[in-house]
Structure 1
Amino acid sequence: MLHHVSLGVADIECAAKFYDAALAPLGYVRVWDDLRPGEPDQAVGYGLEGGGDKLAIKFRPEGQKAPGSGFHLAFVAPNRRAVDEFHRAALSYGGRDNGAPGLRPHYGFNYYAAYVIDPDGHAIEAVFNAPMA
């Protein structure tokens, strides 16, 4: 249904380091970037290697506010270990814990997820929702 989602960030270099680290365990990489220090309209795109972007972060120096309560982005993880690594990497690069890795049986018997707030206040999640192999 969605082609991609864009998030405004106040510090594009900090946000890019955060997303590089947090998304790597999930198999997502930087698929393009337009970084020109000191200039407007900088951006970075993330997706599967060899594909287009599904997430773009865009430099908004005026400090664009994150969406309010109830909005978050959930990224598919290939396994539970990737969810754990996502959470650890996100916290190491300026994210704040918003729910440690674990089962969320109220969402489904196999729903294993972790939640963080990125450095700009966006709520993000990594989820693996399948039986253990």
Structure 2
Amino acid sequence: MLHHLSLGACDIERAATFYDAALAPLGYCRVWSDMRPGEPDQAVGYGPAGGGDKLALKHLGDAARAPGPGFHIAFAAPDRPAVDAFHKAALAAGGTDNGPPGLRRPYGPTYYAAFVIDPDGHRLEAVFKGLV
């Protein structure tokens, strides 16, 4: 149904550094980049290697605002160690913990997830729903 999502970033270089690190353990990478330091309308796109973007980040400066409570983006992880690595990498790259890796049984018996908030306030989740 969705082709991609776009999020605003106050500082596109900081956002790109964060997402480069946080999404790598999930198998996602920067698939395109329009970075021109000091110029307007910069952006980067992330998705599976060799594919198109599923997430775009656009430099909006002070106009960037994260959506309010209730909105978050959940990224599919290939396994539980990838969820753990996402959480660790996101925190090391400037994210804020919003729920450590672990089972979330209210969502299902095998729902394993971790939650972070990126430097711009966007709520993110990595989730794996398979068996151990």
CA distance in 2, matches of 1:61, 1:72: 21
Normalised TM-score (structure 2) = 0.99
Displacement of 1:62: 2.3
Q: Deviations over 1:28-54 (max 9, x none)?
A: 000000000111110000000110000
Equivalenced residue count is 132
Q: How does 1:90-109 map to 2 (within 5 A)?
A: 90-109=90-109
Unaligned runs of 5+ in 2: none
2-structure distance, mates of 1:115, 1:33: 26
When the two chains are superposed, the root-mean-square deviation of aligned CA atoms in Å is 0.5
Letter in 2 for 1:112: Y
Post-superposition shift, 1:64? 1.3
Q: Which runs of 4+ in 1 moved over 4 A?
A: none
Provide the C-alpha distance between the structure 1 equivalents of 2:64 and 2:26, rounded to a whole number of angstroms.
Answer: 26
CA distance in 2, matches of 1:69, 1:9: 18
Q: Percent identity?
A: 70
More helix by share: 2
Q: Displacement, 1:131?
A: 1.2
Whole-angstrom distance in 1 between the partners of 2:12 and 2:91: 18
5+ long unaligned stretches in structure 1: none
